[in-house]
Chain A
Amino acid sequence: MAGLSFAVGRGEVLGLLGPNGAGKSTTMKIIAGFLAPSAGTVHVGDVDMSRQPIIAKRQIGYLAEGAPAYQEMTTLGFLRFVAAARGLKGAHIDRAVRRMVELIHLEQVIHQTIETLSKGFRRRVGLAQALLHDAPILILDEPTDGLDPNQKYEVRSLIRDMAADKAIVLSTHLLEEVDALCTRALVVAAGRIVADGTPLALRARSRWHNAVTMIVEGEAAETLRPHLNAQFGDQRVEIQPTSLEVTATPVPAMAITVFAAPDELGKGLSPQHVAEALQSMGRNQGWRTLGLYVDPGRLDDVFRDLTIRAQERT
């Protein structure tokens, strides 16, 4: 990793994205104080992690990759141990553990040893230990990995509810999670930052951003390709066969997509203009329109583009 420099403020949920081996987990281990960087520093508020690691770590709740825990301990024993290690005492430990058990729904496994828990529950116990001391900073390495859709929903809601008064850094492979949770996304590839912005801004880098797609029944649209190319430019039109599977027999259809570069929006290629032009063309040809939509941009497209380019450079 090199030149990886960023700041996360209170109220921000930063999603750390990147292919496997890009350095996401290493970055999180460094922020959490597990690994020391060979150069550079981590500041937790005003505290330098390398100089005052104990004070810095007190302000961090960390869920490591794979949610490691002491397998032979019960959920209750483990949470009490972590609470005490994080500086809580007496009644505060009981209160914090009780709050977590209720919040993360651990009631049914509280007296079970961790080695007997399902992957989902282990992850939830890991999350509970990270949230126990209500730290202002949360570092969560793939917090929803291994959870079922309902549990994912709950954990995301939990993170969203806490986001207003915490600084949260989370890593994920799920691009949907970036949309669902993150106020900002940082794409890391080959140990470097290749993009940093809001999920919306990242989507805007996709070639699909503001692309207008009209789906028409039948296969006649192909015949109008020269006309479409003439009107929008041949580099900007894509016609793909598709089908609608609303009945047992799929309905053959064509998807006409007109791409627009951001700097051309004012040149008669705004999504609205393109949509109107396509609709008008459809009416003239007597096509039956099955769908018309403007694409907000595709994160997976941007992710692939950025990371592959970064890997090619190295």
Chain B
Amino acid sequence: MRIAPVALIAKRELISYFTTPIAYVFLTIFLALNGVFGFYLGNFIARDQADLDAFFQFHPWLYLVLIPALSMRLWAEERRSGSLELLLTLPVSTAECVLGKFLAAWSFTLLALAGTLPMWVTVNYLGQPDNGAIAAAYVGSFLLAGAILAVGCCLSAVTKNQVVAFIATAVVCLAVMLLGFHVVIDTIEGMLPSMLVDVITTQSFFMHFNSIRRGVVSGPDLLFFLTTIVFWLYANVVVIEYKKSD
């Protein structure tokens, strides 16, 4: 894996967000929904607490809708327009292309997250929040976005249709998210051996994000998100190699 081609592809992809309306639409909706969820649904004012918990608790659901919208075009559009053939006949490997595109999209979500920093500043103005916990929640949110994005990248390579890629990513991520909910755990507990139930439930994005959101970026949570990203990006490479002739 070489850094220069990865950086080149990431740069091209990132610039393409801003030469099309994608970046502006995404950033506007992301920031607007953050405000709506945090202030109204999360009762930020009524809670009278100097933290951003009301704001971060909705991130999984926000990402479930917005990240697939960001990832759906990554490979589906390359396949539909035929530019995949151009890209993969340049002297770059498929893995470098996958990583470059993923990093472009992930850094774009970082930019979107950076757009919420005024809220952190505001909380500090209004009270004395636990800034360590808020920083951890930002890290968790960024990792969660990366994991959903990695799933989206892979599923975007499965189809030439962006809408199909969007729906598939949203559904798969919803399923993985729900694995941490009691209603799911209770349902599968009676059906599967307890060891398997443990393995399945520890795959929940929601559970690991919540664990970090509480203020501790623990090794297992970090490892979970990073291995999830690596796994889905590897699957992305395999899918491209398998589907490119279609």
- List A residues at the B interface (Cβ < 8 Å): 29, 32-35, 53-55, 57-58, 60, 62, 64-66, 68-73, 77, 81-82, 84-87, 113, 129
Asked if A33 and B89 sit within 8 Å, CB to CB, the answer is yes
Judge whether B122 is part of the interface by a CB distance below 8 angstroms: no
- List B residues at the A interface (Cβ < 8 Å): 5, 8-9, 12, 15-16, 19-20, 81-86, 88-93, 244-245
Asked if A64 and B85 sit within 8 Å, CB to CB, the answer is yes
Q: Which of A68, A81, A82, A84 contacts B81 (CB 8 A)?
A: A68
Number of A-B contacts (CB under 8 A): 64
Chain B residues near A32 (CB, 8 Å)?
A: 89
Asked if B86 and A69 sit within 8 Å, CB to CB, the answer is yes
Q: Which of B9, B89, B93 contacts A64 (CB 8 A)?
A: B89
Report the separation of the CA atoms of residues A282 and B6 in the bound assembly, to the nearest whole angstrom: 76
Chain A residues near B88 (CB, 8 Å)?
A: 33-34
Asked if B82 and A64 sit within 8 Å, CB to CB, the answer is yes
Asked if A72 and B89 sit within 8 Å, CB to CB, the answer is no
Asked if A68 and B89 sit within 8 Å, CB to CB, the answer is no
Chain B residues near A58 (CB, 8 Å)?
A: 91
Asked if B90 and A53 sit within 8 Å, CB to CB, the answer is no
Asked if B85 and A34 sit within 8 Å, CB to CB, the answer is yes
Report the separation of the CA atoms of residues A72 and B85 in the bound assembly, to the nearest whole angstrom: 17
The smallest C-beta distance from B12 to any residue of chain A, in angstroms, reads 5
Asked if B93 and A35 sit within 8 Å, CB to CB, the answer is no
By beta carbon, the residue of chain A nearest B90 is A85
Report the separation of the CA atoms of residues A65 and B84 in the bound assembly, to the nearest whole angstrom: 12
Report the separation of the CA atoms of residues A85 and B84 in the bound assembly, to the nearest whole angstrom: 14
Chain A residues near B81 (CB, 8 Å)?
A: 68, 71
The smallest C-beta distance from A215 to any residue of chain B, in angstroms, reads 49
The smallest C-beta distance from B9 to any residue of chain A, in angstroms, reads 8
Report the separation of the CA atoms of residues A54 and B86 in the bound assembly, to the nearest whole angstrom: 14
Q: Specify which of A69, A71, A72, A85 lies most central, judged by the most chain B CB atoms within 10 Å of its CB.
A: A85
Report the separation of the CA atoms of residues A26 and B19 in the bound assembly, to the nearest whole angstrom: 33
Chain B residues near A60 (CB, 8 Å)?
A: 89
By beta carbon, the residue of chain B nearest A70 is B83
Asked if A34 and B20 sit within 8 Å, CB to CB, the answer is no
Asked if B86 and A81 sit within 8 Å, CB to CB, the answer is no
- Assuming the contacts A72-B19, A72-B20, asked whether A81 and B8 have C-beta atoms less than 8 A apart, the reply is yes
- Assuming the contacts A71-B81, A84-B8, A85-B5, asked whether A62 and B91 have C-beta atoms less than 8 A apart, the reply is no
Report the separation of the CA atoms of residues A69 and B5 in the bound assembly, to the nearest whole angstrom: 18
Report the separation of the CA atoms of residues A64 and B89 in the bound assembly, to the nearest whole angstrom: 9
By beta carbon, the residue of chain B nearest A81 is B12
Q: Identify 6 new A-B residue pairs, CB closer than 8 A, beyond the known A53-B93, A71-B81.
A: A54-B91, A64-B85, A68-B84, A73-B12, A85-B5, A85-B9
Report the separation of the CA atoms of residues A81 and B5 in the bound assembly, to the nearest whole angstrom: 10
By beta carbon, the residue of chain B nearest A31 is B89
Q: Which of A66, A77, A81, A86 contacts B91 (CB 8 A)?
A: A86
By beta carbon, the residue of chain B nearest A141 is B85
Asked if A34 and B89 sit within 8 Å, CB to CB, the answer is yes
Asked if B16 and A70 sit within 8 Å, CB to CB, the answer is yes
Asked if A68 and B83 sit within 8 Å, CB to CB, the answer is yes
Report the separation of the CA atoms of residues A32 and B244 in the bound assembly, to the nearest whole angstrom: 14
Q: Specify which of B9, B15, B88 lies most central, judged by the most chain A CB atoms within 10 Å of its CB.
A: B88
Report the separation of the CA atoms of residues A86 and B244 in the bound assembly, to the nearest whole angstrom: 21
Chain A residues near B84 (CB, 8 Å)?
A: 68
By beta carbon, the residue of chain A nearest B85 is A64
